Structure 1
Amino acid sequence: MIVEHRIYTTHPGQVHEYLALYEAEGLAIQKRILGRMVGYYRSEIGGLNQVIHLWAYADLAERDQRRAALLADEGFRHYVRKITPLLAGQESRILVPAPFFTPTWQD
């Protein structure tokens, strides 16, 4: 099991617009295609103007397959064209669990 940790940094003052657009147009598509949303947050202290997504996958192969399906989805591509101007940056990390951790949401 792996978790993808994505950080999107918006231009200053754009976090609320980003979240509203995501909720209206991106959320349902990503949940349908990516599957296991572990968490979705915005930063309050530390690096500001950031939105953090956490998505779980069985392995990198499942992630690759689901991400390819997401990027092929016309509705998602339309959403990306709208959201991109709000973004100043993006980071992605792949997290692996510690040997003693078993997530409660694991399939």
Structure 2
Amino acid sequence: MSDAERVYQVLASIPAGRLCSYGEVARLAGLPGRARWIGRVLGQLPKDSTLPWYRVINNQGKISFPEGSAAYRRQLQHLIDEGSASPQGKIDWRQCRWP
């Protein structure tokens, strides 16, 4: 199994309404210390991917895209829909952190 496939498995296992950091995804995939690489892998997913890439945020509990950008708004909307963020953009990192 490739490194990317291991990342996809971790992504698929993040429950709805829960959040994981890039570093934690790397650790769970057996790739500790490769958080930035995880970001690149997620950035290469096709737009129509069914993997929940939007459940991955940075270790500070924030969306990594520039605030107000189309990508930021898209991720925030997914998180709002799942109940892990408010419409004002507040992410409930402590309550929703997984695992």
TM superposition score normalised by structure 2: 0.31
- Structure showing the higher helix proportion among its residues: 2
- Structure showing the higher strand proportion among its residues: 1
Indicate the structure (1 or 2) with the bigger Cα radius of gyration. 1
Task: Identify the structure with bigger relative contact order (alpha carbons < 8 Å, sequence gap 6+).
Answer: 1
